[in-house]
Amino acid sequence: MRLKHLFVEFLKSRGIECISTNSRKVLGEDPIAYIARNFVSGKFRIFEGQGRFSFDLDGNRIDACRYVAWKSREGIGREEIEDRLGDFPYLVVDCSLAGLHSEKELRSLKKQVNWTLRVVREFMWDERYVVAGMDTGTSAQHFPSVEDFLDQVRPGKVILLDPGAEEEFRGENADCYIIGGIVDKTGNKRGTTALIYERLVKNGYSVERRKILLRGDVIGVPDRINHIAEIVLRAVMDGTSVEEAILSVQSRKIARWRLRKEIVKNSEKIKRNSRSFRVIRKSFFEDVKTWLNVELEDFYRCASDMGIIVVDVDFNPAKIFNVCG
């Protein structure tokens, strides 16, 4: 359950059916998520009054509401749902390998780490987001290292997301998910997430490693830190399948990488007049489009990039060509 759903449940249990607040910032994001995270961060309390911007509990703007969430010493506060907040996991980005990055990669790393805060805010609140080994100037929690965080907070089950892991991530619950603060623009950091795992184990921490796969392969899984965060949080907190979570963040570009691989794997080799060709049936597109964010034009483009001919559904190579093994 996302924080905003818990918050709505809580308001309803108090007979509160709408909420208002005064900051214009509420208009820039999901209003209920905004009010909920400020409430659990202890910045807002809820009391009778009229704020400037009012919403029903589905987040629709309404004319007025007699409850306001705003700065006050009075009213309902975070402590009243404190006992439910422990169920939310921590999401940690380990930036200890920042030294391996070029200037360009470092800039991208900072952006991705900051975008991850936006993702976390859709599901939880800033306190649950931890950045280790890098100062971001945001309201995420900062620790010198993941080890410092683990020593201080002592979460139970810890999962490190690692594309090189043996075991697959299937949306398992954990108290803490660690993502490597690694940006791989040059392609020379393959396997570096394992360095984080080895270091944590060497330092005496118990960590499980999991890889995120799309139908058995990491190709097609977006690997930006903010995307990995969103996949994990959707699967864990919304209860969607990992595949659905991947599709919700997968760009067409990343989908095309996987599409190329699938086209090659599913193409047939045929021979005519001692020349061989590879063909792929157009109907194959109907299959892949259910689990890759691709359009028919991507299918033609990828096939053509690899010199593979797209043929009609009723194409029968045996009638026209000699089919090779």
Ligand X SMILES: C[S@@+](CC[C@H](N)C(=O)[O-])C[C@H]1O[C@@H](n2cnc3c(N)ncnc32)[C@H](O)[C@@H]1O
Q: Which of 16, 161 has the CB closer to ligand X?
A: 161
Look at residue 192 and give its three-state secondary structure. Answer: coil
Amino acid at 108: S
Beta strands in 103-244 (DSSP E): 129-132, 141-143, 158-161, 176-180, 208-210
User: In the bound complex, which residue of the shown chain has the CB atom lying closest to ligand X?
Assistant: 180
Q: Which of 119, 221 has the CB closer to ligand X?
A: 221
Rounded least distance, CB 211 to ligand X, Å: 4
Rounded least distance, CB 209 to ligand X, Å: 9
Q: Which of 188, 273 has the CB closer to ligand X?
A: 188
Rounded least distance, CB 279 to ligand X, Å: 31
CA angle 80, 82, 86 (to 5 degrees): 160
Rounded least distance, CB 33 to ligand X, Å: 24
Rounded least distance, CB 168 to ligand X, Å: 9
Q: Which of 195, 279 has the CB closer to ligand X?
A: 195
Q: Which three-class secondary structure string do you get for 150-181?
A: HHHHCCCCEEEECCCCCCECCCCCCCEEEEEC
Give residue 103's Cα distance to chain centre: 25
Beta bridge partners of residue 269, listed in sequence order: 278
Query: How many Å apart are CA 123 and CA 10, to the nearest integer?
Result: 16
Amino acid at 316: N
Q: How many residues does the chain have?
A: 325
* Strand 275-281 to 308-311 pairing: parallel
Rounded least distance, CB 192 to ligand X, Å: 5
Query: How many Å apart are CA 324 and CA 269, to the nearest integer?
Result: 6
Q: Are 46 and 75 in contact (CB under 8 A)?
A: yes
Q: Which of 2, 209 has the CB closer to ligand X?
A: 209
Provide the binding-site residues for ligand X, judged by CB under 6 A.
161-164, 179-180, 182-184, 189-193, 211-212, 218, 221, 223, 225, 228
Q: Which of 164, 239 has the CB closer to ligand X?
A: 164
Q: Are 153 and 66 in contact (CB under 8 A)?
A: no
Rounded least distance, CB 232 to ligand X, Å: 9
Residue environment code for 134-158, b if the CB has 16+ CB neighbours within 10 A, otherwise e: bebeeebbbbebbbebbeeeeeeeb
Rounded least distance, CB 94 to ligand X, Å: 8
Look at residue 188 and give its three-state secondary structure. Answer: coil
Q: Which of 89, 180 has the CB closer to ligand X?
A: 180
Q: Which of 193, 293 has the CB closer to ligand X?
A: 193
